[in-house]
Structure 1
Amino acid sequence: MAGSRLETVGSVFSRTRDLIRAGVLKEKPLWYDIYNAFPPLREPVFRRPRLRYGKAKAPIQDIWYHEDRIRAKFYSAYGSGQKAFDLFNPNFKSTCQRFVEKYTELQKLGETDEEKLFVETGKALLAEGVILRRIGEPRTVILLLLLLGRPDP
């Protein structure tokens, strides 16, 4: 059946039934008797979606979490960063993930203003030793600010 387009001819059950009748399959699959005893209400047959104008629209809606807004704001402000993901370490947390966790932690403490919360999260991570560099900001500015003791660039 590899390479043939028989999946468009009938359901898996009808094709298996025909193969058993023809003697190609010697024994029934495990699911065959159960499917035969309790058939579905609607036969699962392949049907091509009709395209009217352009592409068919997906009926599945996008899933957005609260953290996604924080991540989008983080990446627009700081970019993807210089540090690569360590996929060999199962406990590795990216800078963005640490930012999101610190953001939600500060948010639970009662801060409501998003801009202020974003800045405070950057300051808290800087206090932990995580240096965040804004997009388009030269490295020398960050080093000078660190030397002067200012917490947020």
Structure 2
Amino acid sequence: MASSRLERIGTILTRVEGLLKNGAMKPDDRPLWYDVYRAFPPAVEPKFARPVPDIKPIRQILYQEDVVRAKFHENGHGLGSVNMLSPSEETHTKRLLKRYEKLKSEGVAEDQLVEKAASEVASERQEFVKAKLTPQNPDSITAQVLTDVKLKDIFNEK
């Protein structure tokens, strides 16, 4: 039995049907998948001797933006945090691509496009962060604490 080749003779369905027909398996003991297989048979019967399908090579799809993205990530500019809670917010790379296209339409030299776009997006981001961190009420206690806090002094013991 160690060298049995029954898997080449028929499918698992025909073997289970044979067991049921000959009484080796009771109808109550049939596998769960048997009724599903009977109700929804596959389009092509899964036989061992089925010919191998023709495998067509997968075409490489490369978009124009992919080359630009590669340039940004190569220089480490495309790395930025993404807020997964707000899907409407643009990613850092998407902002870089938009700025790149705008500068390209303005006629900036090709060798300066990546660096110039990255610096403009970085300055926009710094302005955004600065505006977000600026307290709305400068007289509040929180605003006073934030102005007095120095990062170097946070972990110093008094």
- TM-score clears 0.5: no
- Give the number of the structure with larger relative contact order, counting CA–CA contacts within 8 Å between residues 6 or more apart: 1
Where on the TM-score scale, by shorter chain, does this alignment land: which range? 0.3 to 0.5
> Which entry has the higher C-alpha Rg, 1 or 2?
2
Identify the structure with the greater helix proportion: 2
Q: What TM-score does the superposition give when structure 2 sets the normalisation length?
A: 0.43
